[in-house]
Amino acid sequence: MSNRKSVLFFTNEEFGQTNVILAVAYELLRQNEIDVHIASWPAFQPRVAALSEKVQAEKPEIEIRPIQFHVLPLSPMFDLWVQNGGSRSIIPHPPGKKGITRLKKLVTELFGVWNPTEYIMLFEMCKTLVNEINPGLIVLDPVFPPAHDLCRTLGLNYAVLSPCTLVPGLTPEQPWLAGFWKYPALSTGFPYPVPWNLIPENLYCTWVIISSLWDPRIKALDAARHALGIRGMLPSFTPWVKDVPHICPSLPEIDLPIVIPPNVHNTGPILVAAPPIAESDPELLSWLEKRPTILVSLGTLFEAVPETVKELCLGFRILLETRSDIQILWKLKPKSNFKKEVDDIVQKLLFEELNEGRVRIESWLKAEPLAILESGHVICGVHHGGANSYFETTWAGVPQVVLPHWYDTYDYATRAEYLGIGVYGNYNVGHTRDVVEIDNYIPPTMVDHEEFGKALLEVVGKKPGDSDDMRKRARDLGNICHNSGGRIMAAEIITELTSKK
C-alpha cells in the first residue's frame, strides 16, 4: 500500500459545493485503493474528519487511511464576500431582465472577491501543495478559479467534479447557436424551448452576464494573471474545457435535451450516504407515518424574513384547507433579527395546525433530507432549486415545487416543469418584481401565496389520486437515477483517471 497513488481535491467549503466531494470521497475510502487529500478551509474540516471515522466504523476489518486535509490561506470566497459587506439577505433577486443587473453585480463581487495579490497567493499555495503531494489526479470544484488556472497553465492531470448540471456551460457548443435562442439563459427561468417572444430578453440576459468580463475587478484579476503567464479568461466564466474530464450528477433523462461531448461523464445524482431515518430520528419517522407529508426545505442560503414567511404560510393554508389528510414538515430558520416577528406570523396563520401536529417546524433536521424523502411518506418536496435539492428530490422519486430566488436556482425550476415532475411555484411573481438599485438593497418578496398554493395543489392534487401522472413520472425518473451509478460510478472514474498518470 506504500506505493498507492493519491487524488487531491480543491474546493470551497459551502455545503452546495462540497456534498458531491464528500459523496465521492466516501466511496474512495470504501474502495481503499488510492489516498485521498482535500484542500479547503477550516469549516469543512470537521465534516471530512467525520467521514473518515464513519467509513472506518463501517469497515472495521481493514485499516482505512483517513482523508488528509490541507488548510488553504486567506478566507473562502463566500466568507470574504460577507466580510466585504455582503450577506445572505441581499442574495435573492428576480429572474430575467428584472434581476439580471443585480445578478451581474453579485457575480462580479463573488468571482472577483480575491484581489489580485490574494488570487496569486492562492495560485502559489495550490502549486506548492501539488508539488508536495504529487497526486495522480487533481479534482476541482468548478468555482475555485486559482486551482483551475494552475492545472491549465501547467498541463496537470485533472478533472472537474460539479454539483450542478453542465448545461449552462455546454449551451454555447450546441449546433445552430441554439444556446442563445433555444435554451433559457442563466437565471431567466424561461421555459424550454424558449418561446419566440422571450428570445430578445434571453439574448439580453446572456449579454449582460458576458459583460461581467469588463468589470474593473475582473479586469484587474486578469491583468495579474496574465503578468504571471496565465492565459485565457478567468476560469469562473469558462468552467467547461474540451478534453478535460467533467463529472456531473445529471443524466439525459433528468435534464434538458442537449448534445453531450465525450469528455462529460453524467453519472446520475452523486449523493452523500445518509443513514435511514429509523436510525437518525425514529421519533420523526413516527410522525411521518401519520399522514402524507410535504417536506419544505429552502436551502442553507435562504434567510426567512417576515414578508416571505407570511406568503408561505398563506400558501400552506390553501393546501391544508383543501386536503385535510396532508401534513407539513417545514425546516424554517428565520433571520436572527426577525425571529420573534416570524414566530408571531407562523403562530397566527397556522395556530390550529401546529397544535394538531399537522404542521411541524424545525430549525434543523436531525435526519438528512434525503433520508426523509426516501422514507416513502413524502408526497411533495418544496425546495429553492439548489442543485443538491433538485437531484435529491428527483433521486427519491418525489414530485417537487420549486421556489427559486437567485442565480441558477431558476434553471432547476425550468427542468422540473419541462420533465413533468414538478411545478415552478413562483414564476409569475418572480417575473413581475422590479429591483431598484439603492445603497440599502432590499430583495423583493418573490413568493405569492395564491400562486404557491395553486402549485402545491397541482403537485399533490385537490383530492387523492388527482396527480397520479406526475407522481408516476417522478417515480420512473427516480428509478432511472437509482440504476445510474451515482457516487459509485464517479469514484470509479476518478480512480481510473488517477491510475493513468
Question: Look-up: residue for cell 491510475?
Answer: 499
- % of residues, the chain, pLDDT over 70: 98
CA distance 114 to 116: 6
In angstroms, rounded to a whole number, what is the distance separating the alpha carbons of residues 483 and 111?
36
Same domain, 340 and 389: yes
Q: Do 304 and 334 contact (CB within 8 A), yes or no?
A: yes
Average pLDDT, the chain: 93
Strand pairing category for 327-331 and 68-71: unpaired
Distance CA 159, CA 247 (A): 7
Whether residue 417 contacts residue 437, with contact meaning beta carbons closer than 8 Å, is answered with no
Do 443 and 92 contact (CB within 8 A), yes or no?
yes
Q: What is the pLDDT of residue 501?
A: 61
pTM above 0.85, yes or no: yes
- Which of 181-185, 323-327, 419-423, 443-447 is least confident? 443-447
Count of all residues that appear for the chain in the document: 501
Burial letters for 168-190: b for 16+ Cβ neighbours within 10 Å, e otherwise? Answer: bbbbeeeeeebbbbbbbbbbbbb
Residue 367 belongs to some domain of the structure: yes
pLDDT in tens, 131-156: 999 999 999 999 999 999 999 999 99
Q: Does residue 233 sit in the same domain as residue 324?
A: no
Residue 368 within a domain: yes
Name the residue among 309, 293, 302, 310 with its Cα closest to residue 459: 293
- Identify whether 193 is preceded by a cis peptide bond (ω within 30 of 0): yes
Residue 303 and residue 251 in one domain: no
464 and 424, same domain (yes or no) = yes
* Residue 442 domain boundaries: 277-482
* 342 part of a folded domain: yes
Residue 158 has pLDDT above 80, yes or no: yes
**Three-class SS string for 281-343?**
CHHHHHHHCCCCEEEEECCCCCCECHHHHHHHHHHHHHHHHHCCCCEEEEECCECHHHHHHHH
Grid coordinates of 407: 442565480
Is 288 a member of any domain? Answer: yes
Whether residue 182 lies inside any domain: the answer is: no
Q: How confident is the model at residue 1 (pLDDT cuts 50, 70, 90)?
A: very low
* Confidence class for position 436, pLDDT limits 50, 70, 90: low
φ, ψ for residue 116, nearest 5 deg: -55, -40
pLDDT in tens, 301-341: 777 889 999 999 999 999 999 999 999 999 998 877 888 99
Q: Which residue intervals of 96-214 are DSSP H helices? A: 100-111, 116-133, 145-154, 167-170, 178-181, 199-210
17 and 154 inside one domain? yes
**What would the mean pLDDT of 7-15 be, rounded to a whole number?**
93
Residue 2: which pLDDT band, with cuts at 50, 70 and 90?
A: low
Show Cβ contacts of residue 254 under 8 Å, excluding neighbours closer than 6 positions: 391, 394, 415, 419, 477, 480, 481
Residue 191 resides in a domain: no
- 458 with 492, same domain? no
Predicted pLDDT at 368: 93
The tens digit of pLDDT for each residue in 281-300 reads 999 999 999 999 999 999 87
How far is it, in rounded angstroms, from Cα 429 to Cα 451? 8
Answer yes or no: is pLDDT of 65 > 70. Answer: yes
Q: In this structure, are 228 and 345 located in the same domain?
A: no
Of 81-90, 390-399, 423-432, which gets the smallest average pLDDT?
A: 81-90
pLDDT bracket for residue 471 (50, 70, 90): very high
Return the C-alpha cell found at 444: 423583493
Sign (positive or negative) of CA dihedral 70, 71, 73, 79? positive
Q: Are residues 407 and 463 in the same domain?
A: yes
pLDDT at 11 over 90: yes
- Is the pLDDT at 435 greater than 80? The verdict is no
110-125, pLDDT tens digit by residue? 999 999 999 999 999 9
DSSP 98: G
pLDDT digits (tens, 9 = 90+) for 66-101: 999 999 999 999 999 989 888 887 889 999 999 999
Burial class (CB in 10 A: 0-12, 13-18, 19+), 370: buried
CA distance 390 to 400: 8
Give the number of C-alpha atoms closer than 13 A to the C-alpha of residue 108, restricted to the C-beta side: 19
Q: Which residue has the higher pLDDT, 85 or 55?
A: 55
- Averaged pLDDT for residues 32-51: 96
pLDDT digits (tens, 9 = 90+) for 183-224: 999 999 999 999 999 999 999 999 999 999 999 999 999 999
| Beta bridge partner(s), residue 195 | none
Residues 236 and 347 in one domain: no
Domain shared by 155 and 281, yes or no? no
In a domain? residue 104: no
Q: Are both 258 and 342 inside the same structural domain?
A: no
Alpha-carbon distances of 500 from 126, 137, 157, 495, 496, rounded to whole Å: 22, 9, 9, 9, 7
Q: Residue 449: is its pLDDT beyond 60?
A: yes
Does a structural domain hold residue 263?
yes
Same domain for 164 and 15, yes or no, is yes
Per-residue confidence at 433, pLDDT binned at 50, 70, 90? confident
CATH of the domain at 460: 3.40.50.2000
Q: How many domains does the chain have?
A: 2
